[in-house]
C-alpha cells in the first residue's frame, strides 16, 4: 500500500517523497500535525511523537538518517 493511499491522498498530485519531506520537516520543527492543501481542501495528518520515520517506508533509511 502506498503512503498516499494510507493517508487518503491518492486523489491528489503529490509524490510519496514530497509527503515524507513534509513529515520530516514537521518533526524537525517539533510539530505533531502536517497539513496538505489541495484545491481548497486542507488535509491534516497527526504524527505521534513515537513515530520512527526510518521505519515508515522501506528503502528510505539513508534519507532519514540525519532527520532527527
Query: How far apart, in whole angstroms, are the C-alpha atoms of residue 4 and residue 65?
Result: 22
Angle made by CA atoms 62, 67, 68, in degrees to the nearest 5:
125
Share of the chain above pLDDT 90, in %: 3
pLDDT of 25 strictly over 70: yes
- Dihedral sign of CA atoms 48, 14, 20, 28 in order: negative
C-alpha cell at 51: 513515530
23 by Cβ neighbours in 10 Å (0-12 / 13-18 / 19+) ranks as: buried
| Segment 36-57, tens digit of pLDDT | 888 888 889 888 776 665 555 5
Amino acid at each position: 500500500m502506498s503512503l498516499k493511499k494510507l493517508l487518503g491522498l491518492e486523489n491528489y498530485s503529490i509524490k510519496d517523497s514530497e509527503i515524507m519531506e513534509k513529515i520530516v520537516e514537521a518533526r524537525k520543527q517539533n510539530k505533531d500535525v502536517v497539513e496538505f492543501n489541495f484545491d481548497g481542501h486542507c488535509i491534516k495528518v497527526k504524527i505521534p511523537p513515537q513515530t520512527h520515520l526510518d521505519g515508515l517506508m522501506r528503502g528510505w533509511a539513508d534519507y532519514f538518517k540525519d532527520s532527527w
